[in-house]
Chains A and B, each alone.
Chain A
């Protein structure tokens, strides 16, 4: 393990120094392209709101889904600061349910050279599409893809360091590797998987567990192709406590593995996206035994989406976009259940999403869509109050959503 880790690190060393193709010397003057050491502070942000109508219960909800304020500061050409403050559901009041204030990202960025940079702090590793690319003006539908909310818990951020760069020998090829704190298996659950309380998100995270992430991202013609992976521990306990719970301790103890592959085809007229992901929790049996949280052993998800910008066919230079899209998603949060877990049909879901996305100008979006959710039948064993009125659950339900989004 140590030898292979060293080999991996050595393998990436060539990219920390830009390999030079010096062709012709050039006389130099004193002026710079970009003035050095100019400090600057930037403020921007994004947000979204929606109204949702539940066609089964015939009720509607309105919500300011999120507002994010970005504050960045450039200390010099080598070092910058990035932060994103997020408020969900508009209001956080003590004792009341709902609402969240959190730091979505907060890190220092160090430019090693023009091809590579290092980040340190709270950041979103490159896993999936949404984890980095989640501005409302960049995806179709009022809701982020359910696969990338339930299986890959976007936005998934942890504390650590990450190295990013491009491999110049192959135009369009980028890489990322990261070392972050691990997960919290005590917070896993059947209907949220490794998300929810399974993530520390920068708050009092235990660094007794660590995780490695890595990705390769390749641009060719109009395609964007990415493969990413994650492997990390989730016990976060001293050896004595872990032993008492019969969990494996250590940096990668009680491991979780995540794999993801996606392809995007993006033109001004047509867009196509497809993503598949798998989460493997080999010690789910032990986690369930320790915490009785019904942790799944395996989760899988996939989706495919097609969008057509109708305005392009009337005017190819039109900056406005009117996109008609359709997306199919498959989410199985109980692909494999350990022997001491309880499989729930409701955790296997299919989504069909269809709608329109209208961008009158860059940075503003108006969305309308219909979401059909179809799931399996809930397991009655999970109903903890069998003698009281049971909540109604429809295995098929439709939602009408109308919303706005902005980014600047």
Chain B
């Protein structure tokens, strides 16, 4: 096969395979894959069921009228932290995993305490206090 055709076809097929593979992964996903996501309406005090932390030590909270998600991290049985998932470098949305938060735009990294572990960000994440309220973790948004 001519090199030109090979390169052309290879790129097309790689892009197609990427799209198909990602689509397949998304369609096959269920609530057990990915981080738990808790959707909520506009609130000042968000109540997150503690039962969500049975499957993951981090939960993504999605207030309906907020520009960014909030990541709630279980540090210990009665100790939780919450951070706005907005990169403090250029205000890009962060990607969260069980080990930290990452900005795909310019490479900044934050640990699960919200501190910068890799620049170019220099400021820690916006922190929200979390208190235990019965069976819920209450995030106090000021």
A interface with B by C-beta (< 8 Å): 1, 4, 7-8, 10-12, 14-15, 19-34, 36, 46, 72, 74, 77, 80, 82, 111, 114-115, 117, 126, 129, 132-133, 135, 137-138, 164, 166-175, 177, 212, 214, 216-217, 219-222, 224, 229, 231, 252, 255, 257, 266, 268, 280, 282-283, 362-363, 407-408
Contacts and interface: CB of A to CB of B under 8 A. Distances in A.
B96 interface: yes
A138 B12 contact: no
A219 B120 contact: no
A138 B7 contact: no
Nearest to B42: A28
A29 B109 CA distance: 33
A231 B118 contact: no
A283 B31 CA distance: 49
Given A32-B65, A169-B33, A363-B119, A224 B102 contact: yes
A11 B52 contact: no
B20 interface: yes
Interface in B7-48: 7-8, 10-12, 14-16, 18-20, 22-23, 25-29, 31, 33-44, 46-47
B118 A7 contact: no
B113 to A, nearest CB: 11
Contacts of A174: 95, 104
B42 A114 contact: no
7 contacts: A8-B19, A173-B22, A219-B97, A252-B8, A255-B8, A266-B109, A407-B119
B75 interface: no
Given A33-B66, A168-B34, A8 B95 contact: no
B79 interface: no
B44 A21 contact: no
A175 B22 CA distance: 9
B31 to A, nearest CB: 6
Contact of A21 (B14, B31, B69, B109): B31
A26 B43 contact: yes
Contact of B15 (A8, A29, A46, A132): A8
A164 B69 CA distance: 17
B90 interface: yes
Given A12-B19, A138-B120, A166-B104, A171 B8 contact: no
A29 B42 CA distance: 6
Given A4-B16, A23-B52, A26-B40, 8 more contacts: A7-B16, A23-B38, A33-B68, A169-B26, A214-B15, A221-B99, A229-B11, A266-B117
A8 B16 contact: yes
Given A137-B120, A219-B102, A169 B25 contact: yes
Nearest to B128: A33
Contacts of B3: 280, 282
A34 B107 contact: no
A28 B41 CA distance: 5
Contacts of A28: 41-43, 64
A257 B38 contact: no
A29 B69 contact: no
A362 B122 contact: yes
Contact of B141 (A33, A115, A138, A231): A33
A220 B97 contact: yes
Interface in B92-110: 93, 95-100, 102, 104-107, 109
Across the A-B interface, the 3 shortest Cβ-Cβ residue pairs = A11-B19, A28-B41, A169-B29
A207 B118 CA distance: 37
A362 B116 contact: yes
B70 interface: yes
A339 B141 CA distance: 67
B90 A82 contact: yes
B62 to A, nearest CB: 7
A138 B118 contact: yes
A4 B17 CA distance: 10
A74 B18 contact: no
A293 B12 CA distance: 29
A216 B22 CA distance: 10
